[in-house]
Structure 1
Amino acid sequence: MKGISYSRYGGPEVLEYGEVRDPKVGPDAVLVKVRAAAVNPVDWKARAGYLDGMLEAVFPVVPGWDVSGVVVQPGVSVTEYAAGDEVIGYVREDFLSRGTFAEYVAAPVRTLARKPRSLSFEEAAGLPLAGLTAYQVLTKALQVGRGDTVLVHAAAGGVGSMAVQIARHLGARVIGTAGERNHDFVRSLGGEPVAYGDGLADRVRGLAPEGVDAAFDTVGGDALKASVNLLTPEGRLASIADGDVTGYGGRYVWVRPDADDLAHLSELADRGVVTVPVAQTFPLERAADAYRLSEEGHARGKIVVTVPWEDPAPDPGTTGATGY
């Protein structure tokens, strides 16, 4: 099958488009025909080797954890899905090798949920990692509820835009940091925008003189330090970007696959509570360009890679390989 892979750590130049190995479908997995896969900052950080102390790379690596697509072959133990089902997934394993930037991916059912009917495949591909991150931080680490005031950093980004919408759904008031050009976008999500940079703390205090009940850091560094000083005495702090958060009494959060959480997000999307802004799409063979755009760090919403669609026809006799 066709896919994107890299055989050594490095920049976007190490990504190659061509033939990659067919995935084998384990008993608790399904073979998914990929329609779209989203780029996340963690993808290029992994490709650059920044996660080498945590995740072993089995080269060549097919990158990508987010996916939307169609089931073409359930594993022998799978009862949750059948061929033809449209699904989304945060297909992360505890090593780097079998990712979603390819024509097919073998996805464990614990990583999947049914695709929201109201979203295109491109939009749906951007929901899993960013949506799960926002949902798990807000509901589990920060325990955000009605009446809380929540500070969300990089509120126009992939995770931040999800966090604004979910926090509003939970009944919170949301203050979101963003560049001036994205302020109207943050307002459209239900947040109150403030410019990041020098003077941030004063601008947030102008909106919330008594401080914020919870701060969601997606940036690290100065943003994290500013958040500490903006909390109420009982305020909660979490970061997905800076491990120093634990030294301030906060939580460092690494998103995990959770089928129930993902199904809830899919339901929220179908109810119109959560939308997935797509910044730009690229065909699979131009995935390196999608990575370059992500690394610039200024995209509004999700960057998505699309895979050409052909009606799949798996070999019924295939049990351990794709048959393609």
Structure 2
Amino acid sequence: MVLLLLGDESMQKLFEGGKGSVFQRVLSWIPSHNHQLQLAGALAIANFARNDGNCIHMVDTGIVQKLLELLDRHVDEGNVTVQHAALSALRNLAIPVVNKSKMLSAGVADVVLKFLQSEMPPVQFKLLGTLRMLIDTQAEAADQLGTNGKLVDRLVEWCEAKDHAGVMGESNRLLSALIRHSKSKEVVKTVIQGGGVKHLVTMATSEHMIMQNEALVALGLIAALDLVAAEKDFVGSSLVSVLHKLLSDERSAPEIKYNSMILICAVMGSEPLHKEVQSLAFIDVVSRLRAHENKTVSHQASLTEQRLTAQS
């Protein structure tokens, strides 16, 4: 049944706008007492939740509550495969923007946080992905979760999970997302105190451009909201030399160069960071970028050069 739902056409045919008899039957498996049926039901819902229309329909017809009740039954010594499948379904359902606030109001974040102590990487990975989808564009939720010390401590711990690249990557992305979507000084303070800054600096050197960019935007917000508190971590993680490499590398995408320059301007208010910027001859690198083919980059290069010259 679940395999049949992997094909887009067959999945839509069996969904039938939410009225399909197969879809209705699948829903009846979720509250079952049989682990195999629960698992099949959760996996099937995750597969039905592959386009916005289906996701919106399912959230509006109360499927979230069924999944939360299922997860609640598996918190203590629960079935890991069921946990993983139910979290996968919730993550997919949280993708459409209109679903996020509805799912947050239904208490999804609270139930997901109950699995924070899980030692199972597949569960950790889906838990992180679900929270990241939920807080996207949701400032209040990002603020609430970003000031949750237990969550931030766990994220920082998982940022070092070198044996599990997926968990490590998702932890970094959620840490960055909490800052980017909340734009809150309190969240920045919690991340600094939890030791998360060095991980965001490392994330800026990722091979994936999207992760580099997310890290740079988060670091820019940290510098803008609480440079004094972050100064020690910025120096300790060699932020300035990382930015120098990103700006000097011809392969860096335009947005990476742009956000690196924004960050350089933001850290100039710190004396030790300012000294590092001067010692690395940033003016040479930045002045070359004034001729960049991307107008946003060349314009920011002019502004950054003026700032560096004025403060040299």
Fold equivalence (TM over 0.5): no
Higher strand share: 1
User: Taking structure 1 as the reference length, what is the TM-score of the superposition?
Assistant: 0.25
Name the larger-Rg structure: 2
Work out which structure has the larger RCO, using CA pairs closer than 8 Å and 6 or more positions apart in sequence: 1
Higher helix share: 2
User: Taking structure 2 as the reference length, what is the TM-score of the superposition?
Assistant: 0.26
